[in-house]
Amino acid sequence: MPGLREALLPLGLVAFLVFGGVAAYWLTRPTTLTLAVAPQGGTEPALLRAYAAELARRKLGIRLKVVGFDGVRESAEALKAGQADLAVVQPDVALPGNGLTLAVLRALAAFVVAPGASGIKAVPDLAGKRLGMLAGRTADRTLLRNLVAHYGLDLLADAPAGDIGPKAVALVPVEEADVTAAIRDGRIDALALVTTPTFPAARRAVGAVADAAEGGEVALFGVSDAAAVLARWPRLQPVTVPAGLYGGHPRLPAEDVATVGSSYRLMGRAGLSRSVAAEVTQHLFEMRSTLAETVPAAEDVVHPDYEDTADATSARLPIHPGAIDYYEREQETFIERYESWIYLVAILGGGLGSTAAWLRQRLGRIRRERIEVATARLLELRTEARRETDRVRLEAMAGEVDDLAGSIARHALNRPTEPRTLGAATVAIEAARSTVRRALATAAPPARSGTTDVIQS
């Protein structure tokens, strides 16, 4: 038993240290998430790559493995197929069923800028006109087609040379540097923009139209029936172009312009834990100023609009519960995050403690029983010694008493022993020895064998 205890003690210590080390590593290791970014060459991939690099530089608990895709349709498919944990998504192009919004990376507004003298003040006024558009993507053309269709107009991608027709709008691709000349030459009557209103490119485009207009007077308008358009195309979102954004004298626009648009969103899969989603969202907003030093588009990162938690989780473009936790300042604490594990460890620890206590009690009982058996035998020897008269048998009893005393002494030295049990054994040893000693004093010596020689004469 002493050797077993000495062997188990270091093994138990090693097991405890190994378990503690594994638990510490598991709890402190960074969580690596796969992030699908698109479109290729866009501002969103550049922003999120900078974000991933900053996370690694600060050695935070989140790491991002960035995977590039050509377009937002492909990045959305990667999230839908489970190939990514996070993705850049443009909802009006492709919306994965398992995608929930963490943040709006950039809001796009659809609006039109026309020379004041053109008489174009609203979308219906574009009938029979030529609408210029900067090198737009397919999604932008689709958005414009839907918007003019709401007013009963057809968007013609291939502009005819002659009359366009009273129910059509001709879409004419134009480069940014040619906008002013195109308006002056009559190649376009107005310019459509699907962009972030605060981008420098948007300010340059509006300025180019103003340069071509008489007296620099321009009209800037969006979609007047924004609520109706959103009801038909719920994956769009309302956007407002602030008054005076493109100039304060004269004020352009003269007042806030309500319109609709799309957005680039950072979405996470629905199964992503709330705590991890909250951390990703928190770090993105906390690092926004730092990221803006290298990627100015970071300034356009905003939270999705919602009124309350029910509105956020039941919207057509719902927000991830983890992101809501960050926005509502209700992020999980360490205890809440690992509550199940803590309970499990507590239950297992309690079970192990109970088992150890039972084993200790059982071993103690076994040791006590051994001493009790030896004590009982000593009392039996005392009783037998009172009746015994054979000296040889008494000497054997004395030897057995010594052996039992030695066995009890070894157990008392190597194992904790109850004082009551040890005291009873001590009394039994003394009583047995005393009885055997008295019996030996009165016992007859053993008979001696000899040879008698008979001499016959």
What string of DSSP letters covers 265-293?
Answer: EEEEETTS-HHHHHHHHHHHHHTHHHHHT
Q: Confirm if 96 and 267 have CB atoms less than 8 A apart.
A: yes
Residue 235 three-state SS: coil
Please give the pLDDT value at position 398. 84
Which candidate, 399, 397, 406, places its Cα nearest to that of 379?
397
Kindly state whether residues 220 and 98 are assigned to the same domain. no
**Do 146 and 244 have their domain in common?**
yes
Nearest to 229, CA basis, from 137, 312, 110, 317: 110
What separation in angstroms does the CA of 398 have from each of 301, 402, 413, 429, 430? Answer: 96, 6, 23, 10, 11
Return the structure tokens found at 104. 């709006």
Q: Do 295 and 379 lie in a common domain?
A: no
Q: Are 432 and 382 in contact (CB under 8 A)?
A: yes
Nearest to 303 by CA among 54, 320, 316: 320
Mean pLDDT across the chain: 84
Q: What is the CATH number of the domain that holds 234?
A: 3.40.190.10
Could you tell me the pTM of the whole model?
0.68
Q: Are residues 116 and 214 in the same domain?
A: yes
Q: What is the pLDDT of residue 20?
A: 56
Q: Which of helix, strand or coil describes residue 145?
A: helix
Range of the domain at 349: 339-442
Could you tell me which residue, 162 or 53, shows the higher pLDDT?
53
C-alpha span between 391 and 397 (Å, rounded): 10
The answer to the question of residue 3 being in a domain is no
- In a shared domain, residues 409 and 348: yes
Tokens of 256: 């806030």
User: Domain ends where: 261, 278, 299?
Assistant: 261
CB-based contact 286:54 (threshold 8 Å): no
C-beta of residue 108 within 8 angstroms of C-beta of residue 238: no
Do 376 and 407 lie in one domain? The reply is: yes
Residues 282 and 304 in one domain: yes
Helix (H, G, I), strand (E, B) or coil at 102: strand
Evaluate the omega torsion of the peptide bond into residue 200 and state whether it is cis, within 30 degrees of 0: no
d(CA 139, CA 162): 27
Q: Looking at the structure, tell me whether residues 329 and 344 fall in a common domain.
A: no
Domain boundary among 333, 362, 384: 333
Q: Are 271 and 302 in the same domain?
A: yes
- pLDDT tens column, 231-246: 999 999 999 999 999 9
pLDDT digits (tens, 9 = 90+) for 324-351: 999 988 655 545 554 665 566 566 656 5
223, 129: one domain: yes
Q: How far is CA 182 from CA 5, 172, 213, 252, 280, in A?
A: 94, 10, 12, 22, 45
Pairing of strands 237-241, 168-173: unpaired
Confirm whether 143 is domain-assigned: yes
Question: Per the domain annotation, does 392 fall within a domain?
Answer: yes
Residue 234 maps to a domain: yes
**β-pairing, 168-173 with 154-156?**
parallel
219 has a pLDDT exceeding 70: yes
Does residue 11 form part of some domain? no
Per-residue model confidence as pLDDT tens digits over 364-393: 555 566 777 878 888 888 888 788 888 888
Q: Assess if residue 403 is contained within a domain.
A: yes
pLDDT reported for residue 452: 43
298 vs 427, more confident:
298
The secondary element (H helix, E strand) that includes residue 80 is helix 72-80
User: Using CA atoms, how far apart are residues 187 and 106, in angstroms rounded to an integer?
Assistant: 31
Enter the tokens of residue 210.
């103003």
Which pLDDT belongs to residue 416?
Answer: 66
Residues 354 and 305 in one domain: no
pLDDT at 276: 95
Per-residue pLDDT of 301-329, as tens digits, reads 999 988 777 777 777 889 999 999 999 88
Structural domain contains residue 15: no
Looking at 261, 281, 301, which one is the last position of a domain? 261
The two three-digit tokens of residue 137, written as one number: 């993507």
What is the helix (H) or strand (E) element at residue 103, kind and residue range? strand 99-107
**pLDDT one-digit tens code per residue, 13-64:** 555 556 555 555 555 578 999 999 999 888 999 999 999 999 999 999 999 9
Query: Looking at the 3D structure of the chain, how many domains does it have?
Result: 3
Pairwise CA distance, residues 29 & 60, whole Å = 10
Domain identity same for 142 and 253 = yes
- Give a yes or no: residue 147 inside a domain: yes
Omega prior to 419 cis, within 30 of 0: no
- In sequence order, the β-bridge partners of residue 34 are 65
